[in-house]
Structures are given as structure tokens and as C-alpha cells.
């Protein structure tokens, strides 16, 4: 496979193994550009990309913006509000307006699950889902997979543990789909209150103790906890959460000796990961994830623009 025939990248659920390989290989070939003195190639000159963000996310937005710029595309950022109290323009109206401006790709971040699917059905432009509610975040999963491949040489056969708030995590869902497709063994752990119903049917083993998940793991992926979940009684206190779910020197010993630690960021230090683990470049690959994020997003923009033409 050398071309992506899809119009949109909505989620890892819809990507085939061949498509994932193509995206990862393309991203790997783009990695070198970011190390050059002049970090720019003319590949997407004349193309325009709109980053439509209904949810604040400096990280993801910046990553897509840099990716577009390195390929010489024109990138435009639009921040919108989703307040349903102050009803502004609807997503549909916004989409029709943007369509009239004729961009090539729209990158959408939205707090409502399924918003990119709604948009994709309305406009002829390619849509990249940059995170929709608790549903999917495919570019994050792809950059995670790229990082795992880079560090481990493969994905198939690895034991990969996802730990934290599985219920509200789009990163978890996208990784479960992607990693399963690539032949990894995925286990998840988190408080029972944040473990979604029937998660096992997604092809994972689920635990409520972090230790049970990370034993013999090749990769430990820690998820971000939203502090406001405490108010919904999903966990009693940050203190107790950290005591039970923080990755530290002691429980990390249960993982394979060459295990790597990942986190989609931003980290709540001392809650999800103890600082000495997060900062230890011996096993923490968190900064590699950020670098690979740009390469993966370059690959997605390139392939959706009709790459390899």
C-alpha cells in the first residue's frame, strides 16, 4: 500500500493494518526533516489546513500547526466555543462556511464524541479527528505506536499496559483499537469507577490494581487524570489515587527490565507518574512521543492530500 484512499481520519477503529503501516512508515520518513537546519519541504505548498479547535489544546494544535508548516502548507487556527448556553454558530453552519473557503483539510478537536463524524458527512474536505470527547484521538495513538516501534522494533507480541481513567480517555480507546490490530496484548488498569462497562469486549484484560496490569509489561502507558472527576465521586482524593495508581520505582519493577514509560501529557507529576520515573530518559519516552507527534501529523496531512502523487 502506497496511498491512503480514505477521505477522513476519524478513528483507529476504521483504519486497517495496512493503512496503519503506511502512516507509520510515512511518519518515520518525515522524522528526518525535523532534524534538518531548514525544517521545511515544499510538499504541501499551496494547500491550506484549518485547525478548528472547540476545546483548548495547545499541545495537539501546535503539533498539527508545526506539521503543516514543515510541509509548507498554509495553516489557519480557529478557536471556537461549544458553550451550549451561549449558542453561537452551530458546527454545521461553521462547516458550511469553512467549506466555502475551500481548505484542503480540516483538523477538528471537539468535546462531543462523534463531532468529526458529523462534520465529515457534511463537507467534501478531509477531516482529521484531533480528539472527540472520550471517543478517539487517532493521531495520538499513531504517535504512540510509532514511538513503541522505534524503541522496541515491533508492536506485535508486546504486552502494553494502559493505566488510569480508562472511561474518559480517548487516548485509551484509540490505542486499544490500534495496538490490538497490530498484534499487541493490551491490558488496562484503573479504579473500577473509571472502567467502562464491557471494556473486555474491546479485546483487553481489565484490572483494578496497577500492579496486575504492569507485571511483565513491555510498555506502560499512563493516562491523564482530570482532577474534577473527584467531584463526581470517581475517586475519593488525589492523595488516594496517587497512592494506588501512581507509577513509581517500586511498582515499575514489576514490568520487564527494559520496559518503557509513556504519557500523552500534560503530566500531573506525582499523581500519575513519580517525577523520578518521568524524567529518567532510561525508560521515559515522553519527549520522543512529542517529536514523533509532529512526524505522524505530517504523514496524515501528506497522505490525505493525495501523498505519493
Task: Give the catalytic positions in this structure.
Answer: 59-60, 87, 109, 137
The three grid cell numbers given for residue 99, joined into one nine-digit string: 467549506
CA neighbor of 42 nearest in space, from 304, 293, 306, 302: 302
Provide, rounded to whole angstroms, the least separation between the CB of residue 12 and other proteins.
Answer: 11
Residue 24 or residue 171: which is nearer to other proteins going by CB? 171
Residue 90 or residue 250: which is nearer to other proteins going by CB? 90
Residue 125 or residue 174: which is nearer to other proteins going by CB? 174
Q: What is the contact mask toward other proteins in residues 109 to 148, using x (rule: CB under 8 A)?
A: -xxxxxx-xx-------------xxxxx------------
**Reduced to 3 states, what is the DSSP secondary structure of residue 76?**
strand
Residue 195 or residue 215: which is nearer to other proteins going by CB? 195
Among 9, 15, 199, 296, binds other proteins (CB under 8 A): 199
Whose cell is 502523487? That residue is 309
Please provide the distance, in angstroms rounded to a whole number, between the alpha carbons at the two ends of the chain: 13
The three grid cell numbers given for residue 16, joined into one nine-digit string: 486497517
The three grid cell numbers given for residue 222, joined into one nine-digit string: 499512563
Provide, rounded to whole angstroms, the least separation between the CB of residue 179 and other proteins.
Answer: 15
Provide, rounded to whole angstroms, the least separation between the CB of residue 17 and other proteins.
Answer: 19
Is residue 229 involved in binding other proteins (CB under 8 A)?
A: no
Q: Report yes or no: 248 and 254 within 8 Å, Cβ to Cβ.
A: no
- Binding range to other proteins, per CB under 8 A, among 25-33, 44-52, 98-106, 195-203: 195-203
Provide, rounded to whole angstroms, the least separation between the CB of residue 30 and other proteins.
Answer: 29
The three grid cell numbers given for residue 125, joined into one nine-digit string: 474536505
Among 38, 197, 257, 309, binds other proteins (CB under 8 A): 197
Pick out residues in 54-113 that bind other proteins (CB under 8 A).
84, 90-92, 110-113
Is residue 201 involved in binding other proteins (CB under 8 A)?
A: yes
Task: Kindly give the pairing relationship between strand 48-53 and strand 74-79.
Answer: parallel
Among 31, 33, 66, 202, binds other proteins (CB under 8 A): 202
- Residue count, binding to other proteins (CB under 8 A): 26
**Peptide bond between residue 266 and the one before it cis (omega within 30 degrees of 0):** yes
Q: Report yes or no: 67 and 31 within 8 Å, Cβ to Cβ.
A: no
Provide, rounded to whole angstroms, the least separation between the CB of residue 199 and other proteins.
Answer: 6
Residue 147 or residue 174: which is nearer to other proteins going by CB? 174
The three grid cell numbers given for residue 77, joined into one nine-digit string: 487556527
Rg of the chain over Cα atoms, rounded to whole angstroms, equals: 19
CB burial of 96-105 (b: ≥16 within 10 Å; e: otherwise) equals eebeeeebbb
Cα distance between residue 67 and residue 29, in whole Å:
13
The site for other proteins (CB under 8 A) is made up of 13, 84, 90-92, 110-115, 117-118, 132-136, 170, 173, 196-199, 201-202
Amino acid at each position: 500500500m502506497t496511498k491512503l484512499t480514505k477521505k477522513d481520519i476519524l478513528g483507529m477503529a476504521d483504519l486497517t493494518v495496512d493503512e496503519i503501516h503506511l502512516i507509520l512508515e510515512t511518519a518515520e520518513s518525515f522524522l528526518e526533516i525535523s532534524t534538518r537546519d531548514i525544517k521545511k519541504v515544499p510538499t504541501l505548498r499551496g494547500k491550506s489546513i484549518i485547525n478548528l479547535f472547540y476545546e483548548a489544546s495547545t499541545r495537539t494544535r501546535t503539533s498539527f500547526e508545526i506539521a503543516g508548516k514543515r510541509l509548507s502548507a498554509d495553516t489557519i487556527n480557529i478557536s471556537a466555543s461549544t458553550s451550549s448556553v451561549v449558542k453561537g454558530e452551530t458546527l454545521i453552519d461553521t462547516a458550511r462556511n469553512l467549506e466555502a473557503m475551500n481548505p484542503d483539510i480540516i483538523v477538528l478537536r471537539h468535546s462531543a464524541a462523534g463531532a468529526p463524524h458529523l462534520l465529515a458527512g457534511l463537507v467534501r474536505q478531509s477531516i482529521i479527528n484531533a480528539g472527540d470527547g472520550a471517543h478517539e484521538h487517532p493521531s495520538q495513538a499513531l504517535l504512540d505506536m510509532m514511538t513503541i516501534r522505534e524503541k522496541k522494533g515491533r508492536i506485535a507480541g508486546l504486552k502494553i499496559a494502559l493505566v488510569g481513567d480508562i472511561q474518559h480517555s480517548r487516548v485509551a480507546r484509540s490505542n486499544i483499537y490500534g495496538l490490538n490490530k497490530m498484534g499487541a496484548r493490551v491490558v488496562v488498569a484503573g479504579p473500577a469507577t473509571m472502567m467502562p462497562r464491557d471494556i473486555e469486549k474491546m479485546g483487553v484484560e481489565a484490572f483494578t490494581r496497577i500492579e496486575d496490569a504492569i507485571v511483565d509489561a513491555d510498555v506502560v502507558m499512563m493516562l491523564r487524570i482530570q482532577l474534577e472527576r473527584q467531584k463526581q465521586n470517581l475517586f475519593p482524593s488525589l492523595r488516594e489515587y496517587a497512592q494506588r495508581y501512581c507509577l513509581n520505582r517500586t511498582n515499575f519493577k514489576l514490568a520487564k527490565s527494559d520496559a518503557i514509560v509513556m504519557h500523552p501529557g500534560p503530566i500531573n507529576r506525582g499523581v500519575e507518574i513519580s517525577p523520578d520515573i518521568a524524567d529518567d530518559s532510561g525508560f521515559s519516552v515522553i519527549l520522543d512521543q512529542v517529536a514523533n507527534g509532529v512526524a505522524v501529523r505530517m504523514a496524515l496531512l501528506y497522505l490525505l492530500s493525495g501523498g505519493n502523487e
